[in-house]
Structure 1
Amino acid sequence: MEKIDFHIHTQPDIFKDNEFKFSLDWLERYVKQSRLDAIAVTNHNLFDIDQFNEIDNNLNCKVFPGMELSLENYHVQVIYDNDKIHKNELMHASQRLQDLNLGDRRGISISQFKEIFVDWKNSILVFEFGKSNNIKNISTELSDALCLVGVSSPHKFNKVYLQKDMPTPVLFSDAHATKNNSDVTRNNINKLMFKQTFVECDDSRYMSIYNALKNKSCVGLTSNMLKDSFNIKIDNGKNVKVSTGLNLIIGNRGSGKTYFLKNIKKLVDESELFEIAQFQSAEKANDILDTEKTKAINTEFKQWKSDYKDQWDFIYDNFIKNDQFLMKESFVEKLDNYLDNLRSYHKRNNNNSIANKIVLFKETKFVPNDLISILDDKLRQINNLTNSLELWNYMEINTNNSVYKLKEDIVHFKLLLEEKLKNDKLKEKIKEKVNSILQSIQNVITSQTGVPLIPKINILSLYKRYYFTKKVNMFLNKIVNKKTLGVSNVDIYKIKVNLLPYEKVTEFKKSCSLKNISFQEPFNKFYKKKQYVQFLKEIKTSIGDIPRDSLEKIFINIKAELLTSDDIPVSGGEKVGFSLMLALEEAKDKQYVIVDEPEASLDNKFIKERLISKLQEVSEKSTVFVVTHNSTLGSLLCPNYLIVAKREHNDYSYLSGGFKQKKISNGNLEIPSDKDFINAMEAGFDTYREKGKIYENLRDH
């Protein structure tokens, strides 16, 4: 990354500036304090070769020759490379402009400009925003040159930067290199040092900066807006320069791409690395998809269980935990058995027997009070309420009225309830003792006389069991039906979570993790016929205890499916794309990301429209390394850096450089990148041209 200022005056404009004296010392301090890598000297319609050479010989940065020019209605800085040919051209141009005596208003025509500035096509032209009219038409007038828009503030920079039809903006100082200036805004270093532009390139050579300035994405007002570079040292002792942003690694098979990735993994902290290995996106597509489905199922199923929590708690408490309603016999069967026993009793019983003359023999037992257990539970809930400090503190802070009276009333009620329960429990104990004594007496009489006890039945309890069994069956019949619980959007797809009955006993066993027991008979006999309570009894008899969190899954199956936006099930390739997008989203939290040949099972449309933008998005916060042989991905990715792997003399070598700079280097050798890039993407220029002909032939119809 380089920091540049291509608009510095070392001589005043006699028509608009107050007189000032050039100071090399001031310019040296400005360059040092601003940490500039390159500057351009651009005096108005003037180029002083002797002064320029003095500056070039003394400054510790690159210095480029230039001129601020009046061009028709434009104010434009013309900057050239620092060589003898261009400095001579600027000298002659300066003399021509002096001869034309332009004054403070006139500007030369574009045709005159092209005549005077012979090599203008290789120049950088910076048109000042606000001083240049019809700035959007610059590209049509001087399209062969690199045209930029010079702005005077960060606000204007952002305004131009965001307009797609505007050239690249740059912010330069327009400084006067002097110690004393009547306009202090032109030589105050503390203010001027924030009016420069950062350029994403490897060095401050003219062509490196020139190529970078062609792309808005390579220009920024702060270093944070751009990507820097750093060296990776590999095992063979060589350094490879890479970008902190998006790196594209190319090369033939066996050229050392995998070796390079292994070196990266050795150098970085494992906790800061996210890797999508070669073929992993295709192989792990189902695993990633299952994970997302499970997340969606858990979310929707949790809400659904919450909606029916009271009903499921009742079923568990009364049919599983206490088993009080899970009868072995039906209501009718139980009643028939009682009547049969009663008829048998009357046949065998002699009313004149001694046993029937004893009152206690015919006495019925006390019925237990079911309300006590319910009140016990409510008392525990009240205790939890009164003991919750967080609740009362929250109430005190967030309500206007005092909560102490409310708390006192609840505590008073709790004490009354405790006293009542205490008395009722004592009565229950007495009843239990009486029932026990009565049972003992009746047993003795039966054993001594041979007269059986009269059959007993708690018709209320029996009917209660019958009633709740029927209600539970009705509830289960209502909910054990196909229903969509929810739809969640993930990337461009959606996951639909469905509740549905089990179709096969294997689905039931898998969902409930039951392997070694056959449930085929009860499944067919009861579940398929919607006799769910009877099915529950069979399951409890077979496996014993049923955990509370497994109760719902005994009756219902939960499935999720991945669909397109049109509700069509996704294809195999779409699954791979979906899983890859999710993996890259997860990768955004890591400092380093490796993506090795992600194109497996993906079509070029997906690569162009989805994958490339996602990789670029991840590289905004992470250092990303992408390996590919796919020409669509490679050619359209527009990485910050290109890394070319080669195998030479049984050793791996690497050349790298800014992709938009069109050069790659290993530190000793620098070459154009086009040949290696096209060789890797298209198997050479001949193949590239041949494919182009084929495409054109297909279009020619």
Structure 2
Amino acid sequence: MFSNAALFSDTLFQLKDNGNLKDLISSTESLLDNLEYKDIISKSLNRENLISLHADLVSKFKEKDTERRLKKFTNEVVSNIKSELSIKTSLSPIEEINLKEIALNRMKISKFNDLVSLIKTYKRIDQRELYGYTVVAERGSFKNASELLKVVRRQLSLVPAFKYYDNPISYISKLKGAGVEDTDIYRLFSKVTYRILNRYGSNVSGGERSEYRLLKKLHDAKDHDILLIDEPESSFDNTFLFESVNSIIKDLSKIMPVVVVTHNSTVGASIVPDHILYTTKTFIEGQLVYDVYFGRPTDKYLYTGCGKEIENYGVQINSLEAGKEPYEKRSSDYENIKS
């Protein structure tokens, strides 16, 4: 008897969303309230017409909203009655089915699969140049689960999930099951890598990579208050220092204090510093004493704060050239080679 009741197998009303109508009302209000472009708007749209349009849209929204509320209330009543009837009958009620929603979800999955396939396809997605080097960002597909671990940087077992890499929806489910955070899942579809290219368009060598990193550090230094550089010559050749580093350091010194510690003439002398600081250490009665001499590169003597002096020529020739004798010998050898 209960299963014969009409509501036992009745379907619910489909509730339409009034979002588009709300957007139209909001847009009309924006046109009415805008003061900055009021003259331009009034040339094409009469204000009285806009007011009338707004009133009609609000009236239609009230009508649609009332209809939606009635259907929603009716659905609740019907659902409650169906629930009560289903308890008192041995027959199973027909499950509610929304064919439109099913079709829409299938289309969403299809579009999502197409999107995933697209972002797995190799493409150079960005490139930036810095002092003759080019940093390129490229996308492509992951080859194995080990590459996934490098992205999440956690000890997870992702081998079972990677088996579903070509089935996006199942892949998401398996990643969640393996413990991957929701906020990390999007990063595990397309592999993004970065390469540094030299001026010839080839991948940089180890030495060129170090040069790029130094140039990048110098480039970013402008965002700070002071720049301290400790012996750049220890890792780079003189040509690079002279042609690239010196000019950047000199430019930075115009906007911020720059301190360079060096024993190399290519940096120390060629950069033409504004000031020189030279430190000595001596033992006096068992105590280590430091004296800091300062002055300009062209001064004959450098002085400490307490009045000690030291010959500038000796300081520079010993610090930057390893002494007078090897400096003169190298100079003579270069002349002989040239001749």
TM-score past 0.5 threshold = yes
Measured after TM superposition, the shift of residue 596 of structure 1 is: 2.5
Measured after TM superposition, the shift of residue 694 of structure 1 is: 4.3
Which residue, out of 620, 638, 645, partners 2:272?
638
Q: How does 1:503-522 map to 2 (within 5 A)?
A: 503-512=143-152, 515=154, 517-522=156-161
Which residue, out of 166, 174, 194, partners 1:538?
174
Partner of 1:559: 193
Cα distance in 2 for partners of 1:396, 1:642 equals 64
Cα distance in 1 for partners of 2:187, 2:235 equals 36
Partner of 2:140: 500
Q: How does 1:582-621 map to 2 (within 5 A)?
A: 582-588=216-222, 592-621=226-255
Preserved CA contact (<8 Å) 2:148 2:158: no
Partner of 2:36: 394
Preserved CA contact (<8 Å) 2:28 2:54: yes
TM-score (norm 2): 0.79
Partner of 1:658: 296
Residues 405-449 of structure 1 show CA distances to partners (whole Å, capped at 9, x for unaligned) of 575324541441232122123123213422442353344232xxx
Preserved CA contact (<8 Å) 1:607 1:633: yes
Partner of 2:324: 685
Measured after TM superposition, the shift of residue 551 of structure 1 is: 5.5
Measured after TM superposition, the shift of residue 532 of structure 1 is: 1.0
Partner of 1:569: 203
Question: Secondary structure at 2:317's aligned position in 1?
Answer: helix
Preserved CA contact (<8 Å) 2:86 2:92: no
Structure 1 residues 618 and 406, CA, compared in 2 at 3 Å: closer, same or farther?
farther
Which residue, out of 364, 369, 372, partners 2:14?
369
Structure 1 residues 386 and 457, CA, compared in 2 at 3 Å: closer, same or farther?
closer
Q: 1:535 corresponds to which letter in structure 2?
A: Y
Question: Secondary structure at 1:599's aligned position in 2?
Answer: helix
Preserved CA contact (<8 Å) 2:25 2:57: no
Partner of 1:417: 61
Cα distance in 2 for partners of 1:657, 1:382 equals 73
| 2:117 matches 1:477 | yes
Cα distance in 2 for partners of 1:500, 1:410 equals 50
Cα distance in 2 for partners of 1:554, 1:422 equals 46
Question: Secondary structure at 1:570's aligned position in 2?
Answer: coil
Preserved CA contact (<8 Å) 1:396 1:403: no
Q: How does 1:90-489 map to 2 (within 5 A)?
A: 358=4, 360=6, 364-369=9-14, 372=16, 374-375=17-18, 377-378=19-20, 381-382=23-24, 385=27, 392-396=34-38, 399=41, 401=43, 404-405=47-48, 408=51, 409-410=53-54, 412-446=56-90, 451-453=91-93, 458-489=98-129
Between the aligned residues of both structures, percent identity stands at 22
Cα distance in 1 for partners of 2:179, 2:46 equals 50
Partner of 1:673: 312
Question: Secondary structure at 2:242's aligned position in 1?
Answer: helix
Cα distance in 1 for partners of 2:310, 2:105 equals 89
Measured after TM superposition, the shift of residue 599 of structure 1 is: 2.4
Question: Secondary structure at 1:393's aligned position in 2?
Answer: coil
Preserved CA contact (<8 Å) 2:31 2:41: no
Question: Secondary structure at 2:193's aligned position in 1?
Answer: strand
Preserved CA contact (<8 Å) 1:365 1:435: no
Structure 1 residues 433 and 641, CA, compared in 2 at 3 Å: closer, same or farther?
same
Measured after TM superposition, the shift of residue 459 of structure 1 is: 4.6
Measured after TM superposition, the shift of residue 674 of structure 1 is: 2.1
Structure 1 residues 536 and 405, CA, compared in 2 at 3 Å: closer, same or farther?
farther
Preserved CA contact (<8 Å) 2:225 2:257: yes
- Structure 2, unaligned stretches of length 5 or more? none
Question: Secondary structure at 1:394's aligned position in 2?
Answer: coil
Partner of 2:162: 523
- Structure 1, unaligned stretches of length 5 or more? 1-353
- Structure having the higher Rg: 1
Structure 1 residues 406 and 607, CA, compared in 2 at 3 Å: closer, same or farther?
farther
Preserved CA contact (<8 Å) 1:587 1:593: yes
Q: 1:563 corresponds to which letter in structure 2?
A: L
Structure 1 residues 520 and 406, CA, compared in 2 at 3 Å: closer, same or farther?
farther
Preserved CA contact (<8 Å) 1:598 1:628: yes
Structure 1 residues 465 and 367, CA, compared in 2 at 3 Å: closer, same or farther?
farther
Q: 1:477 corresponds to which letter in structure 2?
A: S
| 2:261 matches 1:627 | yes
Cα distance in 1 for partners of 2:61, 2:108 equals 28
Measured after TM superposition, the shift of residue 607 of structure 1 is: 0.5
Cα distance in 2 for partners of 1:403, 1:511 equals 57
Question: Secondary structure at 1:466's aligned position in 2?
Answer: helix
Q: 1:534 corresponds to which letter in structure 2?
A: S
Higher helix share goes to which structure? Answer: 2
Cα distance in 1 for partners of 2:34, 2:208 equals 54
How many pairs align? 332
Cα distance in 1 for partners of 2:101, 2:253 equals 70
Structure 1 residues 413 and 438, CA, compared in 2 at 3 Å: closer, same or farther?
same
Measured after TM superposition, the shift of residue 609 of structure 1 is: 0.3
Q: 1:687 corresponds to which letter in structure 2?
A: P
Structure 1 residues 494 and 381, CA, compared in 2 at 3 Å: closer, same or farther?
farther
Preserved CA contact (<8 Å) 2:227 2:257: yes
